[in-house]
Amino acid sequence: MSEQATAGQAAMSEQKRRMLAGELYHAGDAQLTADRLRAARLRERYNATRAHEPELRAEILDELLGTVGEGVEILPPLHVDYGYQTTVGPGTFVNTGAVLLDVARISLGADVQIGPGVQLLTPTHPLDPVLRRTGREAGEPITIGDNVWLGGGVIVCPGVTIGQNSVVGAGAVVTRDLPPNVLAVGNPARVIRAL
């Protein structure tokens, strides 16, 4: 491990370390607040771009997100909490109005199709009201496999994995994992047939 990497880890706040580990953390931590502000500035720049500026969009996405594959298109407006927790595979298309709350990792595979107004929500909050009042939260990762299609308005809840080639119908709320090669609809989403 390089000296620079070691110094970077030493500089990481305890709350950020806890967030990245999926443990309860306090979002008011100074380092996490600075990370969210960085993402907000980049998000504002991105959302102000125009359709005829694909190079500028790609440049901002490369700075905002953890990894962006070739041929990715994400239409503004886009909302992310941190950005660096989100990876997007090549050939993926994200329609307008996506909300990617990435306090935990969000992984979009290759050739994923995301409809308008889709929400990928990784944050969780304690059920215990006393603990919840302390402002602590956690997150569970979301994984979307290759060639998945999420229809408009789909909500994917914390900790969900959707297997490759699956399709989720518009407006569905995905509360648990979906296997590969299925069509799922409804609230909560349920598999209605194999593909």
**Residue ranges with strand state E in 89-154:** 93-94, 98-101, 106-108, 113-114, 119-121, 123-124, 136-139, 142-144, 149-150
**How many degrees, rounded to 5, is the angle at CA 187 between CA 112 and CA 172?**
20
Q: Amino acid letter at 191?
A: V
3-state SS class at 168: strand
CA distance 190 to 148: 16
> Is 125 designated active site?
yes
Which position among 26, 52, 79, 125 bears the catalytic label?
A: 125
Catalytic residues: 125
